[in-house]
Amino acid sequence: MEAKEHGYLIKKENGDVWQWDLWQPGMGIVDFTNPDACQWYADKLSRLVDMGVDSFKTDFGERIPTDVVYHDGSDPMKMHNYYTFLFNKVVFELLEEKLGKGEAALFARSATAGGQQFPVHWGGDCTATYASMAESLRGGLSLGMSGFGYWSHDIGGFESTATADVYKRWAAFGLLSSHSRLHGSRSYRVPWLYDEEAVDVVRHFTKLKCQLMPYLFSEANVASQKGIPMMRPMVLEFTEDPNCDQLDLQYMLGESLLVAPIFNEKGMAKYYLPEGTWTDFVTGRSVEGGAWVKEHHDYLSVPLFVRPNSVIAVGHNNTKPDYDFADHVDFQLFNLDAGRSAETIVYSEQGEAEVSFTATREGEMITISVTGASKPYTVTLRGVSNVSNVTGATAEDGELGVSLTPAEGEQTIVVTL
């Protein structure tokens, strides 16, 4: 009644408030072309932020009528798409005002051109099937190519209830997305309602994602600064490889990690690796690219490969996503070819560059430079079983490869293979 009395709702041509009874009886729609309505709506949310709320899910925004009149006279046909931009803008700017620049985040469902300014987004009400899981990935990769940096989906599907099989496979996919949420319509998506193995799967991939947070947060900063999406179609990273042009069931998670979710009850993965020597991040096995791979995976496994000539910053904490990423970070270097270099930046939780890492190889010599490191760190030469000489650090053979611990205050490490 308050919004109606002040004229804050979209109206019909005869001046009545436009309303319908779907979802809520007598529901009206806020007219975000009215500055007073925007302020009124923001004030309502402001009270919730004062109570401790730090984000909002801006659900819907897409079912906007066209037989209406807007406060500022906007064309209702054009507003059918543009409405969601104004909706998310009001909420995002309120969060920025209350929480500070860099602290605002929505969980937005609808978007249009320019909506990437108000992250993050998810794919809406998918169905709990493998077909819908694949459709969700295709839609997300398309959104990324449209300029949206962060995208995810309802793990397990929203409509209906997934089988335990679909749920476990979707959990691996969902926890290797830019952000992750368990959500559904007719049942809770908590793993213990499926079976004990589902608990193991969600725990396993949650811990993996927490360990990958220094890398993922670095890629999130790239998305924010340059507009390159975190979940990238293969063609975006490998534009010269025609085999990547049509690939839509695998993706690059950031610049260096390839993910190929499994979309069938037989556990068979089929994916393509571009040229070069790729490394399974978990097992350490090497696979030569320029070819298709078909193989079986159990529920605790998914194709997760590291691009050659890459460095992945791996965190020390697998129990939560927000921690001091620079403290005891392990820079894992993969298949650095002669004449090539690899670099990365570890950011603080406030999004400030904290530690810079660069590795360059000339012949059999790798020179590693680390700047800004005020906390302990290590370097792991993945897949390297031994080295002939090291300066600036002590070397120790490890399960994943040679581990280098720098001398105190040392910023340069030189390794001879």
pLDDT(186) > 90? no
pLDDT digits (tens, 9 = 90+) for 24-42: 788 899 999 999 999 999 9
pLDDT digits (tens, 9 = 90+) for 340-374: 999 999 999 999 999 999 999 999 999 999 999 99
3-state secondary structure of 220: helix
pLDDT(257) > 90? yes
190 and 167 Cβ atoms separated by less than 8 Å:
no
The whole-number pLDDT of residue 21 equals 87
For residue 171, name the pLDDT band (cuts at 50, 70, 90).
very high
CA 15 to mean position of chain CA atoms: 44
The whole-number pLDDT of residue 188 equals 86
Q: H or E stretch including 4? A: helix 2-5
Where does residue 402 fall: left (phi above 0), alpha (psi -120 to 50 degrees), or beta otherwise? Answer: beta
SS3 sequence, 19-51?
EECCCCCCEECECCCCHHHHHHHHHHHHHHHHC
The whole-number pLDDT of residue 8 equals 97
pLDDT digits (tens, 9 = 90+) for 92-114: 999 999 999 989 999 999 999 99
DSSP annotation of 18: P
Q: H or E stretch including 382? A: strand 377-382
% of the chain exceeding 90 in pLDDT: 93
The whole-number pLDDT of residue 343 equals 98
Average pLDDT, the chain: 96
Q: Is 26 exposed, middle or buried (0-12, 13-18, 19+ CB in 10 A)?
A: exposed
CA 326 to mean position of chain CA atoms: 20
Instruction: Tell whether omega for the bond before 287 is within 30 degrees of 0, i.e. cis.
Output: no
Q: Nearest Cα to 40, choosing from 1, 83, 73?
A: 1
Phi then psi for residue 169, to 5 deg, are: -65, -40
- Give Cα separations from 277 to 110, 173, 249, 281, 297 (angstroms): 40, 23, 21, 12, 21
The whole-number pLDDT of residue 23 equals 78
Rounded CA gap, 279 and 287, in Å? 6
First to last CA, the chain: 75
| Least trusted range by pLDDT, from 258-262, 310-314, 391-395, 406-410 | 406-410
pLDDT digits (tens, 9 = 90+) for 70-86: 999 999 999 999 999 99
% of the chain exceeding 70 in pLDDT: 100
The whole-number pLDDT of residue 360 equals 98
Q: Considering only residues 57 and 23, tell me which one the structure prediction assigns the higher pLDDT.
A: 57
Helices (H), 108-253: 130-145, 164-175, 196-211, 213-226, 234-237
- Alpha carbons within 13 angstroms on the beta-carbon side of residue 77 total 0
pLDDT(1) > 90? no
Q: Which residues contact 51 (CB under 8 A, 6 or more apart)?
A: none
pLDDT(149) > 90? yes
Q: H or E stretch including 85? A: helix 76-99
Tell me the two tokens of residue 355.
Answer: 């530690």
**Residue type for 284, please?**
G
The whole-number pLDDT of residue 339 equals 97
Q: Nearest Cα to 183, choosing from 125, 135, 143?
A: 125
Three-point CA angle 191, 319, 375, nearest 5°: 160
Query: What are the chain's domains?
Result: 2-226 (3.20.20.80), 231-306 (2.60.40.1180), 310-416 (2.60.40.1180)
The whole-number pLDDT of residue 297 equals 98
256 and 214 Cβ atoms separated by less than 8 Å:
no
Active site residues: 59, 62, 125
pLDDT(187) > 90? no
402 and 383 Cβ atoms separated by less than 8 Å:
no
How many other CB atoms sit within 10 Å of the CB of residue 44? Answer: 12
Query: Hey, CA dihedral for 325, 326, 328, 334, is it positive or negative?
Result: positive
Q: Considering only residues 253 and 188, tell me which one the structure prediction assigns the higher pLDDT.
A: 253
Give the mean pLDDT of 321-349.
Answer: 97
The whole-number pLDDT of residue 189 equals 87
3-state secondary structure of 301: coil
Give the mean pLDDT of 283-303.
Answer: 97
Give the mean pLDDT of 234-262.
Answer: 98
The whole-number pLDDT of residue 24 equals 79
pLDDT(146) > 90? yes
The whole-number pLDDT of residue 25 equals 85
| Least trusted range by pLDDT, from 17-31, 131-145, 376-390 | 17-31
How many other CB atoms sit within 10 Å of the CB of residue 191? Answer: 23
Q: Which residues pair with 357 in a beta bridge?
A: 344, 370
How many other CB atoms sit within 10 Å of the CB of residue 151? Answer: 26
The whole-number pLDDT of residue 305 equals 98
